[in-house]
């Protein structure tokens, strides 16, 4: 602290009065400096401290510094822990502080011992770091989101790659051009998927410009990408109304739900898709998801399968959130998992308006 004071004092205007040190302390607008006696009671409370905490000096002089701590546990440990650590050398700590009006803020506290032949108390520099902490937490959330979507991206590309490999093998065997057409369509879909997921990862963007989507076509395409991995699996669909959605993200949602059913319900699973009053459902006839796990399955990286990546249903949650929809997991008619997607903008198959 002495170096900081010396550095600021060089900028202090030269004058004939002896009020320089007082003006120095009161002029440090970003820091509040005050002092304590050896017992931790406040003995000076200058202007910056009054401005930061909202207490007048008449309210604070003689009171324990512990009253400034919002957390009762931290308050109780001030005398025996924080002050003890700063008795022989400067000590820095981060704590939630409380203002006179009851509001709270994060502060970095630097405590330094004061010696005049013998120990005479403490000097405290309190710096409001709430803004910096909020920015740090925002950056951490952003980085976590980027990592999450990178993992999801890798996961969601697996099915298209497997489809390409299968079609390429068939083309080599048969020479049929139709397989190359499927490969071309799949690679185009992968490119759009990458762009969409990166957009969500970087900006957390909602679907701003949804299209009118034929649900039947999206479901068939999604089953083509996943269901053929298990030829004995069955897809049952009930006619669904058109919806407003992002086509590629909606397709990925169905792919991930289908893939989840195949992974957890076996090769002969039956997957059903049908309408709800405000959306649609996807259910299977597998073992289902217990009540305890239903709150966890959408978490990033969570999987009940040893071989599962834990990103499929996390991706489902992200896509649903991007559309502003809701999702609930219940038990299907056959005892399997049933995902109910609600709050969907359903068109009731009204004719598309002419442009």
Question: Could you tell me the residue ranges of all domains in the chain?
Answer: 2-128, 135-342
Spatial CB neighbours of 311, under 8 Å, sequence gap ≥ 6: 151, 152, 154, 155, 156, 300, 301
Lay out the sheet containing 326-331: strands in order across.
234-237, 270-276, 279-284, 337-342, 326-331
Report the SS3 class of residue 352: coil
Two tokens at 273? 């898709």
190 pLDDT higher than 80: yes
More confident residue, 184 or 79: 184
Residue 41 contacts residue 84 (beta carbons within 8 Å): no
Fold of 135-342: Heat Shock Protein 90 (3.30.565)
352 pLDDT higher than 60: no
Same fold, 2-128 and 135-342: no
Q: Compute how many other C-beta atoms are within 10 angstroms of the C-beta atom of residue 170.
A: 15
Nearest in space to 246 (alpha carbons), one of 218, 275, 281, 204: 218
pLDDT digits (tens, 9 = 90+) for 256-299: 899 889 888 888 999 999 999 999 999 999 999 888 888 888 77
d(CA 8, CA 23): 11
In CATH, the architecture of 2-128 is 2-Layer Sandwich (3.30)
pLDDT digits (tens, 9 = 90+) for 7-43: 333 333 334 444 544 454 444 555 899 999 999 999 9
Task: Tell me the pLDDT band of 338, cut-offs 50, 70 and 90.
Answer: very high
pLDDT for residue 112: 96
Task: Flag the least confident range among 59-73, 101-115, 169-183, 307-321.
Answer: 307-321
């Amino acid at each position: 602290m002495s170096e900081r004071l010396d550095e600021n004092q060089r900028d202090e205007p030269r004058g004939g009065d002896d009020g320089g040190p007082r003006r120095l302390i009161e002029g440090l607008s970003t820091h509040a400096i005050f002092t304590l006696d050896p017992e931790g009671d406040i003995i000076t409370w200058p202007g910056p401290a009054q401005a930061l905490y909202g207490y007048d000096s008449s309210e604070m002089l003689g009171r324990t510094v512990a009253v400034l701590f919002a957390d009762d546990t931290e308050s109780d440990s001030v005398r025996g822990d924080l002050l003890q650590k700063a008795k022989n050398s400067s000590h820095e700590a981060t704590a939630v502080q409380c203002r006179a009006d009851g509001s709270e803020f994060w502060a970095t506290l630097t405590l330094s011992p004061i010696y005049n032949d013998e120990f005479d108390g403490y000097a405290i520099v309190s710096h409001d770091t709430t803004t910096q902490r909020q920015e740090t937490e925002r950056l951490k959330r952003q980085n976590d989101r980027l990592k999450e979507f990178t993992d999801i991206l890798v996961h969601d590309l697996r099915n298209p790659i497997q489809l390409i490999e299968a079609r390429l093998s068939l083309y080599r065997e048969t020479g049929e051009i139709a397989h190359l057409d499927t490969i071309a369509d799949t690679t185009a879909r992968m490119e759009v998927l990458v762009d969409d997921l990166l957009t969500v990862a970087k900006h957390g963007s909602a679907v701003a410009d949804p299209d009118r989507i034929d649900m039947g076509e999206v479901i068939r395409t999604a089953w083509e990408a996943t269901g053929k991995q298990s030829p004995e699996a069955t897809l049952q669909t009930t006619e669904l109304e058109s919806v407003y959605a992002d086509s590629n993200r909606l397709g990925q949602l169905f792919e991930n739900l289908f893939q989840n059913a195949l992974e957890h319900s076996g090769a002969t699973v039956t997957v059903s898709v049908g309408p709800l009053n405000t959306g649609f459902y996807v259910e299977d006839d597998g073992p289902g998801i217990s009540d305890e796990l239903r709150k966890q399955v959408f978490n990033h990286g969570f999987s009940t399968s040893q071989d599962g990546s834990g990103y499929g249903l996390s991706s489902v949650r992200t896509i649903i959130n991007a559309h502003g929809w809701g999702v609930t997991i219940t038990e299907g008619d056959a005892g399997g998992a049933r995902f109910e997607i609600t709050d969907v903008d359903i068109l009731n198959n009204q004719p598309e308006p002419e442009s």
